[in-house]
Amino acid sequence: MTDVRRLPGPGAEKWEWQLHGACRGESTELFFHPEGERGPARAAREAAAKAICARCSVIKECGEHALSAREPYGVWGGMSESEREAIITGRTRRGGARQAPVPVGSAVGADRQFHKAPIVA
């Protein structure tokens, strides 16, 4: 569940970015996995969702929201659940260094390109 204590509050200006999302009007099923979805089906669905994120004008705001609110489910700001978890925790399930997506530029998704950077557990 989203940590509601981390949400920005009811001010419309804090949520207005959502009105400009490329995902508006798309099926939420594309961004949130059905129970039990695994493997190639999940990878294909996430890739389709991320393709929409890649052309979104508010990918930065979306990614920042997902990380700060610790959104547990779905593709947000071009990042999957596991990608956000790796960024938030700064470690992997196995331990040791692993390549995790890190936004290029100064803010999350600012130029919608990601490169790999090691995360040390």
- Residue 112 domain flag: no
Least confident segment among 19-23, 37-41, 117-121: 117-121
The whole-number average pLDDT for the span 10-23 is 80
- Residue 108 domain flag: no
State how far the alpha carbon of 20 is from the alpha carbons of 10, 23, 46, 49, in Å. 18, 9, 20, 16
Q: How many independent structural domains does the chain possess?
A: 1
* Annotation: binding site: 23, 53, 56, 62
- Domain with 34, as residue range(s), is 4-89
Of 90, 72, 88, which Cα lies nearest the Cα of 33? 72
Burial-class residue 19 by CB neighbours within 10 Å (0-12, 13-18, 19+).
Answer: exposed
- Residue 98 domain flag: no
- Residue 116 domain flag: no
Q: What is the pLDDT of residues 66-88, one digit of tens each?
A: 998 899 999 999 999 999 999 98
- Residue 72 domain flag: yes
Helix pair 39-54, 59-69: axis angle to 10 deg: 130
- Residue 25 domain flag: yes
- Residue 96 domain flag: no
* Annotation: binding site for [4Fe-4S] cluster: 23, 53, 56, 62
Ordered DSSP codes for 71-114: --SS-BTTB-HHHHHHHHHSS-SS-S-EEEEEESSSSTTTTS-E
Rounded CA separation 119/121 (Å):
6
- Residue 119 domain flag: no
What's the predicted TM-score (pTM) here?
0.66
